[in-house]
Amino acid sequence: MFGFLNVYKPVGMTSHDVVSKLRKLTNIKQIGHTGTLDPFAEGVLPVCIGKATRLIEYLDDDKEYLAAVQFGTSTTTYDIEGEVTFTSDKKITAENIKNSLKDFEGEILQYPPIYSAIKLKGKKLYEYARSGQEVKIDPRKVTIENIELKSFDEELQQAEILIKCSKGTYIRSIAHDLGQKLECGAHLIKLVRTQAGKFKVENSVKLEEIDVIKNLVNPLEVLNYPKISAAADDIEYIRNGRALKNKNIKHGSVVILIYNDNEICAVGIADNDVIKLKKVFL
């Protein structure tokens, strides 16, 4: 038995906590998560069960978040858990936010928060921050496919912003940078991941309600690659890791999912007239 679970990660747990709890609940040891969420964040956390851990690299990387942003205050961590570094009495409007969000669309350079797990010279950035060391952080390219204001409470100066972005995007940095752009300061007060690849929040399951048999997602449903059905005489070739004849896949060097009886048998690479097997699941 292997596949994916669309787990709803609650506030207060790390992604590793979720995996540990699932191991206890299911008695399955081979479990892994596909993308870290900060403890104060919640929402979609795709989890791999059994041999599906070998398929993590083939999952779509795009993410979608609903971010609640408080304007008027900046913090060390760019979120609600940090110490206040700046305050402002300046009041902004929904129109101010909408106009500023336009500058975050497309491919942008983003500075990760100093309180993050990114490594620099063998140490995580938050380790430098906690020790008071100043380090030079290089910006990283990320892609914001869509960013839009969903609601704004002018009295509380709080906004809900929907963000669809590439892997590695820091929503905390977007909140912080938006506050700087509007010259009023801002930080993240709530974050919900609403989608990760083909996993959506409306289909996610709370930890305490998970039934592995019932909730297991077939990899063929969420892996976005060409699929071909293996004939009966292909099965032995696949078991032995031998290349298959190319079945009308016209593009070279493309990932192919090979299945039989609605179960994934192997992942291969189409190379001219053959499919070379990379991973076998029989």
pLDDT digits (tens, 9 = 90+) for 5-15: 999 999 999 89
| pLDDT score, position 250 | 62
Residue spans per domain, the chain:
3-60+197-221, 63-196, 225-280
CATH number of 3-60+197-221: 3.30.2350.10
| pLDDT score, position 166 | 94
Per the annotation, the verdict on 234 as an active-site residue is no
Tell which CATH classification among 3.30.365.10, 1.25.40.10, 3.30.800.10, 3.30.2350.10 matches the domain 63-196.
Answer: 3.30.2350.10
pLDDT (tens digit, 0 to 9) for every residue of the chain, 282 residues total? Answer: 899 999 999 999 989 999 999 999 888 999 998 878 888 899 999 999 999 999 999 999 899 999 999 999 999 999 998 999 999 999 999 999 999 999 999 999 998 877 666 665 666 666 655 666 666 677 889 999 999 999 999 999 999 999 999 988 999 999 999 999 999 999 999 999 999 999 999 999 999 999 999 999 999 999 999 898 888 888 988 998 888 876 666 666 688 899 999 999 999 988 777 888 999 998
How far is the C-alpha of 198 from the C-alpha of 221, rounded, in Å? 9
Cα 124–chain centre separation: 20
Class (C level, CATH) for 225-280: mainly beta
| pLDDT score, position 237 | 87
Helix axes 171-181, 94-101, angle to 10 degrees: 120
| pLDDT score, position 126 | 60
How far is the C-alpha of 36 from the C-alpha of 9, rounded, in Å? 10
How far is the C-alpha of 188 from the C-alpha of 160, rounded, in Å? 10
How far is the C-alpha of 97 from the C-alpha of 95, rounded, in Å? 5
Q: List the catalytic residue out of 38, 79, 177, 234.
A: 38
Number of Cβ within a 10 Å radius of residue 37:
23
- pLDDT tens for 23-61 read 998 889 999 988 788 888 999 999 999 999 999 999 998
Fold agreement between 3-60+197-221 and 63-196: yes
pTM: 0.90
Length, in residues, of the chain: 282
Question: What are the phi and psi torsion angles at 117 (to 5°)?
Answer: -90, 5
Computed over its alpha carbons, how large is the radius of gyration of the chain? 22
What 8-state DSSP symbol labels residue 101?
Answer: H
Contact 101, 71 (CB under 8 A): no
